A and B are shown apart, each in its own frame.
Chain A
Amino acid sequence: MRVMAQMSMVMNLDKCIGCHTCSVTCKQAWTNRTGTEYVWFNNVETRPGQGYPRTYEDQEKWEGGWTLTKRGRLRLKAGGRIKNLATIFSSPKLPSIEDYYEPWTYDYETLTNAPLQEHSPVARPMSLITGKDMNITWSANWDDDLGGSELLAADPILAKVSDKVKLAYEQTFMFYLPRICEHCLNPSCAASCPSGAIYKRAEDGIVLVDQDKCRGWRKCVTGCPYKKIYFNHKTGKAEKCTFCFPRIEVGLPTVCAETCVGRLRYIGLVLYDADKVLEAATVTDPKDLLESQRGVFLDPFDPTVMREAERAGIPRDWVDAAQRSPIWALISTFKVALPLHPEYRTMPMVWYIPPLSPVVDVVQETGEDAEEAGNLFAAIDTLRIPVEYLAELFTAGDTEPVTGVLKKLAAMRSYMRDINMGRPGDPSIPAAVGMTTGEMDAMFRLLAIAKYDERYVIPPAHAEQAHNLEELATECSLDYDGGPGMGGSGPFGEGSGAGTPLAVENFRVLKDRQTSDTTAGAGTGPATRVNMLNWDGRGTPPGLFPGRDGPPAEPRTESAPDGQDTP
């Protein structure tokens, strides 16, 4: 047994209203740069729909993820190592910018400098790729809310559900599917990367791209079946969802989770046995993948697991957090969360609670009582189409687990109604789905009440390691390559050499401002550059306009001692 910890997420799809707040805040935090205009680390898809990029789920077309060879071994679907290298000069299955969309801005300048005229001037759309005028034809969520239902035919999942039921299905329901990187246990993007730049963090399992090691071979884009690795077309490097690791390291939830209006996201740890991952991903029948992945997770209350976790160097407070983890509860205790496309065999670690609300809606439309357990159970059994569709998403087509989850949610709804109406809870309802009333209460608390600290159980990265974290400087703040007293900026002028740690720069600038009796940045040397982010607006210190070739001009007043006496 080799215990490892994985930071993971569960999303409760019943609560998603498709508002895209997660996408927007994520974009503001991570991808509001040139080269990443089309990059959505987090996106929300309407289901049924084509997804983003279009039809990404059709792995016969895009060849993402893993597949089994005839001899029952795991192999990248796009081909083995040799084929991967042989096709390096032109990646055969790379989505083009048209499969995403051509990003654009508007010619806002026209609005301000157009001459006086009869009609209002118009800001025309301009391509951010070519800089030319363009027609907007597609975007990341063009088919939102089933906009343009003729597009639905291209949904690869809908194609698997038989033709006859399509129309009926379209009239039945839709739901939203927010997606981030799955931070898989068996990531095919990392396996596809020729440079070895994509790695899984040993502490918390977050999958990251080392920007200094990435050489832009773009094989990871093909390798990821969820198409959650994006190619930055300006820097020529791959970028992906970071699970907001700087926030997670200090115990804060990801930006998408923090800003989620519906509070539908849960974040927590799962302990798993790294030795069993490959075996679990190699089971023959794709329908067994859900169960085999559940089998990889380790019970954090099991004394053997706790002992092995300690032996593997997992801190005690992390094991505690794994015991309190909402993810463990939703996946393994209540078994209501399901993985997205387990058939890709990447062992994804962002799981979903399938939505019951469409079923409820249908029952409601018939005029029947939509909160009565018997009605709901019957509807789940007869509404074959939604269940089949959900099964194609979450269980490789096996309807039984989906039905099981939906019935649990229906039972909870029905059981809690009695209690909310002041009636005693009917224990036969939880019993019908194999649960006790106590378990039902606990599940209700986690799904419906879901307070902040119950949704997010995130143990901070460990204190002994704090000096390795980007945001915390616990050691001498001058102690970095080329730091103050070591010659200032690099040998090739301003900005060359290694970057200054964020915390150091802030610390120095703040200290300078707080202790100086002149305007900040009035000293000499490259360290006295004025940081525009916290410049106080007083005077015009020389550091505001540093010379082209060297330190700024002599200050007009004597500066406070800088740096030399810093502890």
Chain B
Amino acid sequence: MTTTLDIVLWVVVPYVCLAIFITGHAWRYRYDKFGWTTRSSQLYESKLLRWGSPLFHFGILAVFAGHVMGLGIPKSWTDAVGLSESVYHAMAVSVGLLAGLATVVGMSLLIYRRRTNGAVFGATTRMDKTMYLVLGVVIFFGLWNTIGSGVLNLYDHYDYREGVSVWFRGIFTFQLHPELMAEAPFPFQAHGMAAMLLFALWPFTRLVHVFSAPLFYLWRPYVVYRAKSERFGARAPRRGWEKSEKTRR
């Protein structure tokens, strides 16, 4: 039995948040390329950053990969390749714990640094603080799910791969299952809802730098040349006097 509240929480809110996520990024990219940056504070302080930042970033990258697996790949697929439930569980919990721990330690270091170093704190915007709060809540419930459900088994063998994952994939395939989230244990609900909120905030925070991950660097030539005519907003020169021998500029 799905109530109106369930539909609002697990259908309407996700779509609204995702819509804000997508249009927000399009808007930000169109109108605020100059503000699209990591806003690094390494110039002010680097001793704590040296540990905190890689721990957090590599941790969260591993967490992201885990979510791609856990949310993106249906259980039937892993069953089909013969990955048993217990093996999958052990793998997910161990890697998840490790990644989660690295993320939390890294983030704690970074927040400590941000609060105690005057220069870094001075460069912290209100949006940064809001974002840290929401991100912290998301990470807290995420880690709690791994520990509480995966290790301590407090939620009666709740299998998110048959609940949360199906609901999440359904959002993108338009097969809506609000009832699955309504039945899920509270920490899973909280994790999902906080994540949706984070997605809605995302385009308006420094988190946009995630989408500038410069993987292209591995392939591009070292030195970039640019001619004026290629400049943004400029138009090709009009046809005028031409050389007898056609040459390319």
Chain A residues touching B, range:
35 or more
The answer to whether B44 and A465 have CB atoms under 8 Å apart is no
Assembled-state Cα–Cα distance A390/B42 (Å): 34
Q: Which residues of A contact B157 (CB under 8 A)?
A: none
Choice from B37, B53, B56, B223 contacting A214 with Cβ under 8 Å: B37
Interface residues of A in 189-225 (CB under 8 A from B): 190-191, 193-196, 198-203, 211-218
Which of the listed residues B38, B212, B222 has the most CB atoms from chain A within 10 Å of its own CB? B222
Interface residues of B in 30-61 (CB under 8 A from A): 31, 33-34, 36-46, 49-50, 53-54, 56-58
The answer to whether B126 has its CB under 8 Å from any CB of chain A is: no
The answer to whether B240 has its CB under 8 Å from any CB of chain A is: yes
The answer to whether A216 and B37 have CB atoms under 8 Å apart is yes
Q: Which residues of B contact A480 (CB under 8 A)?
A: 233
Q: Which residues of A contact B245 (CB under 8 A)?
A: 311
The answer to whether B225 has its CB under 8 Å from any CB of chain A is: yes
The answer to whether B240 and A464 have CB atoms under 8 Å apart is yes
The answer to whether B38 and A96 have CB atoms under 8 Å apart is no
The answer to whether A276 has its CB under 8 Å from any CB of chain B is: no
The answer to whether A237 and B34 have CB atoms under 8 Å apart is yes
The answer to whether B123 has its CB under 8 Å from any CB of chain A is: yes
The answer to whether B36 and A215 have CB atoms under 8 Å apart is yes
Binding site for A on B (CB under 8 A): 27, 31, 33-34, 36-46, 49-50, 53-54, 56-58, 118-119, 122-123, 209, 212, 214-218, 220, 222-229, 231-235, 237, 240-241, 243, 245, 247-249
Given contact pairs A90-B54, A211-B34, A490-B31, A468 touches B231 in the complex (Cβ within 8 A): yes
Which of the listed residues B54, B217, B235 has the most CB atoms from chain A within 10 Å of its own CB? B217
Assembled-state Cα–Cα distance A497/B44 (Å): 32
The answer to whether A218 and B228 have CB atoms under 8 Å apart is no
Assembled-state Cα–Cα distance A218/B53 (Å): 14
Assembled-state Cα–Cα distance A90/B235 (Å): 40
Closest 7 CB pairs of A and B: A194-B214, A191-B222, A212-B33, A216-B37, A236-B37, A130-B118, A236-B39
The answer to whether A231 has its CB under 8 Å from any CB of chain B is: yes
Segment among A79-87, A147-155, A282-290 that sits at the interface with chain B:
A79-87
The answer to whether B218 and A85 have CB atoms under 8 Å apart is yes
The answer to whether A190 and B217 have CB atoms under 8 Å apart is no
Q: Which residue of A lies closest to B226 (CB)?
A: A199
The answer to whether A190 and B218 have CB atoms under 8 Å apart is no
The answer to whether A215 and B118 have CB atoms under 8 Å apart is no
Q: Which residue of A lies closest to B209 (CB)?
A: A215
The answer to whether A467 and B46 have CB atoms under 8 Å apart is no
Which of the listed residues A88, A194, A236, A310 has the most CB atoms from chain B within 10 Å of its own CB? A236
The answer to whether B214 and A215 have CB atoms under 8 Å apart is yes
The answer to whether B224 and A198 have CB atoms under 8 Å apart is yes
Q: List 22 A-B contacts (CB under 8 A).
A: A85-B214, A89-B53, A90-B49, A94-B43, A96-B43, A96-B44, A96-B45, A130-B118, A194-B214, A200-B224, A201-B227, A215-B214, A216-B40, A216-B209, A235-B37, A237-B37, A310-B247, A312-B247, A461-B228, A465-B228, A467-B235, A467-B237
The answer to whether A90 and B122 have CB atoms under 8 Å apart is no
The answer to whether A503 has its CB under 8 Å from any CB of chain B is: no
Choice from B38, B44, B50, B232 contacting A97 with Cβ under 8 Å: B44
Choice from A88, A233, A235 contacting B44 with Cβ under 8 Å: A233
The answer to whether B217 and A194 have CB atoms under 8 Å apart is yes
